[in-house]
């Protein structure tokens, strides 16, 4: 199966089964915009919940929610007005627009000649309220990242944390980039969801992360910008050899890999690529992309981990005339030494930022979970989602659409749901067809009610991946589905 056909198959399944489809489809769609259907929204919500837990429970970070529209001052200070640009060319013949770095000398559509490249700002511009005759303050932009909302609130967040550094803040939400000519489906969107963490730390403390020992043995595949090949190396060694600049960056890169693995992205399709110096965003001191190896698109960035230095806090301090520097003693005992000889020493905290592109992660999950095989002359398509992200955890199916089986199945269905397990009930079509449908949407387990159920109150649980079935009593079903259901099939294999 060619890569293009595989992607088409995955996206065809995603459309047909209600994961993702083009926005405004009845009007012909608009490139760069997608909607999530019922199963896609459920999948996305699960990934976001796991992400939120990973950083709140796992790291002790707090979540905030800031506006998606930002006033001009914010993006003037952040550098986005001046620097958030792509070079654009226009075909002189058919007037199609392209990103200059995505095309050669001639228009791929008609062979026409291109205009001189022009700068194009990628922010969507809007107005707040009515337009005044002199413009000015009403000018606003849809945010290109959620991060700025966390930077402009830094003084309040610092107070909330009782003036103690380091601390981390997270945010999940929509962001917008007015891409010139997005032609890569869900990989390049004009409206998308970011999940970002901003970790504020004193610059001299970046070399020592208090929990570094927990991740130091994580093996990562790195592609540093000064090397031609990739290396496999532990985080500990990478930091010791200064391939990764410091422990804070190394720690958060390892945590990114752990999160991606946790939700089911295969680690053998992951690498971390360091940005070339001329490729780095205007705010970044150092930046690594976690990239997923896609069958269709090659290496695709799904998470960016940047050391933004003090770029943002110092820029907002200047623009807003609010001093966001902190006395170095904020860092506690270790920083006390740094204070000696300079009572008034203050610095801007540095920011380490893991920034996750949720939509691309969803694409990566769909592509890497998709599996096709022939079973008794029929094609079986499967999304091998891990249970923690599967939109439907359990399907409850009466073997046949007969009243006595249907009644019992509905009873079991309600009982499972009352235990907090998200289940779907399906009685339409042959049992084989219903299994295939559940396989396609990635449901890990099907519970089937048959005539034996009516005799002795037992049901079968079918495992999506092995297609094996085990029989359990209804009484122990919730506990099995909650807890050791996987081990039941591991032992039977």
- Cα–Cα dist 431/398, whole Å: 8
- Cα–Cα dist 477/482, whole Å: 8
> Which CB sits closer to Zn ion, 94 or 475?
94
> Which CB sits closer to Zn ion, 6 or 93?
93
Question: Smallest distance from the beta carbon of 30 to Zn ion, in angstroms?
Answer: 20
Q: For CA atoms 130, 131, 136, 141, give the dihedral sign.
A: positive
- The pairing of strands 62-63 and 167-176 is parallel
Nearest-CA neighbor of 154 among 284, 310, 280? 310
Question: Smallest distance from the beta carbon of 113 to Zn ion, in angstroms?
Answer: 9
- Cα–Cα dist 16/18, whole Å: 6
> Which CB sits closer to Zn ion, 12 or 109?
109
Question: Smallest distance from the beta carbon of 103 to Zn ion, in angstroms?
Answer: 10
- Cα–Cα dist 463/491, whole Å: 12
> Which CB sits closer to Zn ion, 107 or 324?
107
Question: Smallest distance from the beta carbon of 93 to Zn ion, in angstroms?
Answer: 5
Q: Assess 113 for contact with Zn ion (CB under 5 A).
A: no
Among 82, 109, 334, 476, binds Zn ion (CB under 5 A): 109
> Which CB sits closer to Zn ion, 97 or 227?
97
Question: Smallest distance from the beta carbon of 431 to Zn ion, in angstroms?
Answer: 54
> Which CB sits closer to Zn ion, 112 or 327?
112
Question: Smallest distance from the beta carbon of 104 to Zn ion, in angstroms?
Answer: 12
Among 110, 128, 454, 475, binds Zn ion (CB under 5 A): 110
Which region among 68-76, 104-112, 144-152, 275-283 touches Zn ion (by CB under 5 A)? Answer: 104-112
Report the site for Zn ion in 348-407 (rule: CB under 5 A): none
CB count in 10 Å sphere of residue 280? 15
Which region among 91-99, 211-219, 357-365, 474-482 touches Zn ion (by CB under 5 A)? Answer: 91-99
For residue 476, what is the enclosing H or E element?
none
Among 77, 107, 300, 395, binds Zn ion (CB under 5 A): 107
With 0-12 / 13-18 / 19 or more C-beta atoms within 10 angstroms meaning exposed / middle / buried, residue 127 is: exposed
Which region among 112-120, 125-133, 320-328, 360-368 touches Zn ion (by CB under 5 A)? Answer: 112-120
Report the site for Zn ion in 413-432 (rule: CB under 5 A): none
- Cβ–Cβ < 8 Å for 212, 247: yes
Nearest-CA neighbor of 259 among 481, 443, 57? 57
End-to-end CA gap in the chain: 29
Q: Assess 89 for contact with Zn ion (CB under 5 A).
A: no
Q: What are the b/e assignments for 307-324, b being 16+ CB within 10 Å?
A: bbbbbbbbbbbeeeeeeb
- Cβ–Cβ < 8 Å for 350, 224: no
Among 94, 227, 454, 475, binds Zn ion (CB under 5 A): 94
> Which CB sits closer to Zn ion, 56 or 96?
96
Which region among 4-12, 30-38, 102-110, 424-432 touches Zn ion (by CB under 5 A)? Answer: 102-110
Structure tokens at 450: 């048959």
Question: Smallest distance from the beta carbon of 22 to Zn ion, in angstroms?
Answer: 24
Q: How many helices (H) and strands (E) does the chain have?
A: 17, 26
> Which CB sits closer to Zn ion, 91 or 361?
91
> Which CB sits closer to Zn ion, 69 or 94?
94
> Which CB sits closer to Zn ion, 93 or 223?
93
- The pairing of strands 423-425 and 394-398 is parallel
- Cα–Cα dist 35/41, whole Å: 9
Among 91, 189, 390, 446, binds Zn ion (CB under 5 A): 91
Q: Assess 112 for contact with Zn ion (CB under 5 A).
A: yes
Which residues lie below 8 Å from residue 205, measured CB to CB, with a gap of 6+? 165, 166, 248, 331, 334, 335
Catalog residues that contact Zn ion under the rule CB under 5 A: 91, 93-94, 96, 107, 109-110, 112
């Amino acid at each position: 199966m060619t890569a293009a056909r595989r992607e088409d198959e995955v996206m065809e399944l995603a459309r047909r089964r209600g994961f993702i489809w083009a926005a405004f489809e009845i009007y012909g769609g608009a490139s760069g915009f997608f909607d999530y259907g019922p199963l896609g929204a459920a999948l996305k919500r699960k990934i976001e919940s796991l992400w939120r837990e990973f950083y709140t429970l796992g790291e002790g970070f707090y979540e905030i929610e800031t506006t998606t529209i930002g006033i001009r001052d914010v993006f003037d200070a952040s550098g986005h007005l001046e620097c958030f640009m792509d070079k654009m060319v226009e075909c002189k013949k058919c007037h199609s627009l392209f990103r200059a770095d995505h095309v050669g000398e001639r228009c791929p559509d008609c062979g026409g000649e291109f205009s001189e490249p022009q700068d194009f700002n990628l922010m969507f511009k809007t107005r707040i309220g009515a337009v005044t005759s002199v413009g000015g303050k009403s000018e606003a932009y849809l945010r290109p990242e959620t991060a700025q909302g966390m930077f402009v609130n830094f003084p309040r967040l610092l107070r909330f944390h009782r003036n103690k550094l380091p601390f981390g803040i997270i945010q999940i939400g929509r962001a917008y980039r007015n891409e010139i000519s997005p032609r890569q489906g869900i990989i390049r969107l004009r409206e998308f969801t970011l999940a970002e963490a901003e970790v504020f730390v004193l610059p001299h403390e970046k070399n020592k992360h208090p929990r570094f020992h927990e991740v130091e043995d994580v093996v990562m595949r790195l592609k540093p910008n000064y090397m031609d090949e990739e290396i496999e190396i532990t985080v500990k060694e990478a930091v010791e050899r200064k391939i990764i600049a410091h422990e804070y960056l190394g720690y958060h890169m390892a945590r990114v890999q752990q999160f991606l693995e946790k939700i089911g992205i295969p680690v053998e399709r992951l690498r971390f690529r360091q940005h070339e110096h001329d490729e780095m965003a205007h705010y970044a001191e150092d930046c690594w992309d976690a990239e997923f190896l896609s069958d269709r698109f090659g290496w695709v960035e799904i998470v960016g981990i940047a050391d933004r230095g003090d770029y943002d806090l110092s820029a907002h301090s200047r623009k807003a005339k609010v001093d966001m520097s902190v006395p170095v003693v904020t860092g506690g005992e270790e920083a006390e030494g740094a204070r000696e000889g300079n009572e008034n020493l203050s610095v801007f905290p540095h920011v380490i930022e893991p920034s996750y592109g949720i939509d691309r992660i969803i694409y990566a999950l769909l592509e890497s979970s998709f599996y096709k095989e022939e079973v008794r002359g029929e094609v079986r398509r499967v999304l091998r989602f891990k249970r923690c992200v599967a939109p439907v955890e359990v399907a409850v199916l009466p073997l046949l659409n007969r009243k006595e089986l249907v009644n019992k199945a509905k009873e079991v269905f309600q009982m499972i749901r009352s235990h907090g397990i998200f289940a779907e009930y399906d009685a339409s079509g042959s049992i084989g067809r219903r299994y295939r449908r559940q396989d396609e949407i990635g449901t890990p387990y099907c519970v089937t009610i048959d005539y034996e159920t009516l005799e002795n109150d037992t049901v079968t649980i079918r495992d999506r991946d092995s297609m094996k079935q085990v029989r359990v009593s209804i009484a122990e079903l919730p506990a099995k589905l909650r807890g050791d259901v996987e081990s039941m099939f591991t032992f039977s294999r």
